[in-house]
Amino acid sequence: MTLSIGIHDIAFATGSHRIDLAELAARHGVEANKYYVGLGQSEMSVLANDEDVVTMAATAAKRILDRGDSRAIRTLIFATESGIDQSKSAGVYVHRLLGLGSDVRVVEVKQACYSATAALQFATALVARSPEEAVLVVASDVARYELDSNAEATQGAAAVAMLVTADPAILEIEPITGLYTEDVMDFWRPNDHTTAIVDGKLSITAYITAAISAWQDLAGRGGPAYDSIERFCYHQPFTRMAVKAHRKLAASVAGLDDEAADAQVAGTLEYNRRIGNSYTATIYLALATLLDGDEDLAGKRLGFLSYGSGAVSEFFTGIVQPGYRERSRAAENLALLDARTVIGDERYLELQRFSPEDVANFVTARETTGPFRFGGVDGYKRVYEAV
């Protein structure tokens, strides 16, 4: 009998603040519906100055650890494109904040928004070799573009943590996957930039090409039939992107009209609509929101399209496990989104423009509502502490 391996638990964290996209629309001189309807985004998370990818990742992972599991975590894989150091893995800070043992391997992986999916696949291979071990995968990112650019409305921030084990309680990941890689300059962030450079129109066509090509690879390798897939979770730089890409796929593979296609991504959009782009994390926020919905998906197959600019994409599938709802955090998750402080454009701009005069030494003000904070930098050393 083959071993069942997949996601045993999943939890997310985001920033302490949020801004309604109508505020940005007013500054940009466009109708709010361009963002609400055209991009499918209602608001976006904004980090406090004492929050970053480490504090969000540790907070998401803490929610998993607090619930407990008897299997020892032996590996922590930190997926991000918002790296805070050119050498040291952000995961090592998370390892300390969580109080994990010294017998845990920690590494950071990068390929734009795709790398959390690579981490998940690597994790399944580690568990296949040692089924008594668990792997903690954390995807954590802050999406930043130039202020006043047309990409500004597609920012956001969040982390998703997943515990990957044998006999998972939530989602068994199936072994056949579809891959597509192509060197394309649709979005990138040079080492001296704090914001990404993007060719918006090219990025949309590159995403759609990569989605369809990864599906074709999956189909060519004997992957599950299109009709056997109940719902599709996409990478969501903005939720309308998932709808657009799925319409193309559904029409080309199954001859479905837009209405039928939209029904297959229904239930996967809500958390990302409220958080904004969180790069590596969005596809797993799509899964979280789907699992938190009213529909019982036990035994159903889900499809996943992971896309990272530059570009790498992967299509894979998984089976929702019976009893998955016993692990639901739906009420907690909604409360977490609602609890974010609503800020106006003035405060948002202040936070976005924050840039310390002395990068080697600075102290951040206490602001986060989360359990961990980024205290600043002391002699070029980043300081993290439990609140």
> Which range in 170-178, 203-211, 256-264, 329-337 contacts ligand HMG by CB under 6 A?
203-211
Using CB under 6 A as the binding rule, whether residue 198 contacts ligand HMG is answered as yes
Out of 38, 175, 224, 375, name the contact with ligand HMG by CB under 6 A. Answer: 38
Using CB under 6 A as the binding rule, whether residue 187 contacts ligand HMG is answered as yes
Out of 93, 122, 207, 315, name the contact with ligand HMG by CB under 6 A. Answer: 207
Using CB under 6 A as the binding rule, whether residue 200 contacts ligand HMG is answered as yes
Sign of CA dihedral 91, 97, 100, 102: positive
Residues 91-110 that bind ligand HMG (CB under 6 A): none
Tokens encoding 55: 């504090």
For the chain, helix, strand, coil in percent to 5 are 40, 30, 35
Least distance in Å: CB of 137 to ligand HMG?
Answer: 17
Least distance in Å: CB of 246 to ligand HMG?
Answer: 13
233 classed as catalytic: no
**Sole residue written with tokens 């391997």:** 105
Q: Are 169 and 291 in contact (CB under 8 A)?
A: no
Least distance in Å: CB of 162 to ligand HMG?
Answer: 19
235 classed as catalytic: yes
Query: Which string of x and - marks every residue 248-287 that binds ligand HMG (by CB under 6 A)?
Result: -----------------------------x-x--------
Least distance in Å: CB of 338 to ligand HMG?
Answer: 25
Q: Is 148 left (phi over 0), alpha (psi -120 to 50) or beta?
A: left
Tokens encoding 240: 């309308």
Q: How far apart are CA 352 and CA 211, in angstroms?
A: 32
Using CB under 6 A as the binding rule, whether residue 150 contacts ligand HMG is answered as yes
Secondary structure of residue 276 in the 3-state scheme: strand
113 classed as catalytic: yes
Residues listed for the chain: 387
Catalytic residue among 8, 17, 95, 235: 235
Catalytic residue among 81, 133, 152, 270: 81
Out of 232, 234, 284, 307, name the contact with ligand HMG by CB under 6 A. Answer: 307
For residue 311, whether the previous peptide bond is cis, meaning omega lies within 30 degrees of 0, is yes
Q: Is 185 left (phi over 0), alpha (psi -120 to 50) or beta?
A: beta
Q: Which is nearer to ligand HMG, 279 or 316 (CB)?
A: 279
Amino acid at 351: L
Using CB under 6 A as the binding rule, whether residue 112 contacts ligand HMG is answered as yes
Angle between helices 239-254 and 200-220 (to 10 degrees): 40
Q: Are 282 and 236 in contact (CB under 8 A)?
A: yes
Binding residues for ligand HMG, rule CB under 6 A, total: 29
Using CB under 6 A as the binding rule, whether residue 37 contacts ligand HMG is answered as yes
Out of 48, 56, 98, 151, name the contact with ligand HMG by CB under 6 A. Answer: 151
Centre a 10 Å sphere on the Cβ of residue 360 and count the other Cβ atoms it contains.
10
Contacts of 159 (CB under 8 A, 6+ apart): 12, 13, 14, 53, 56, 57, 59, 60, 138, 139, 140, 141, 278, 281
Q: Is 277 annotated as a binding residue?
A: yes
Q: Which is nearer to ligand HMG, 62 or 189 (CB)?
A: 189
Q: Which residues bind ligand HMG (CB under 6 A)?
A: 31, 33-34, 37-39, 81, 112-113, 150-151, 153-154, 186-187, 198, 200, 203-204, 207, 235, 237-238, 241, 277, 279, 307-309
Binding site: residue ranges?
145, 244, 277
**Catalytic positions, written as ranges:** 81, 113, 235
Binding site for (3S)-3-hydroxy-3-methylglutaryl-CoA: residue ranges?
145, 244, 277
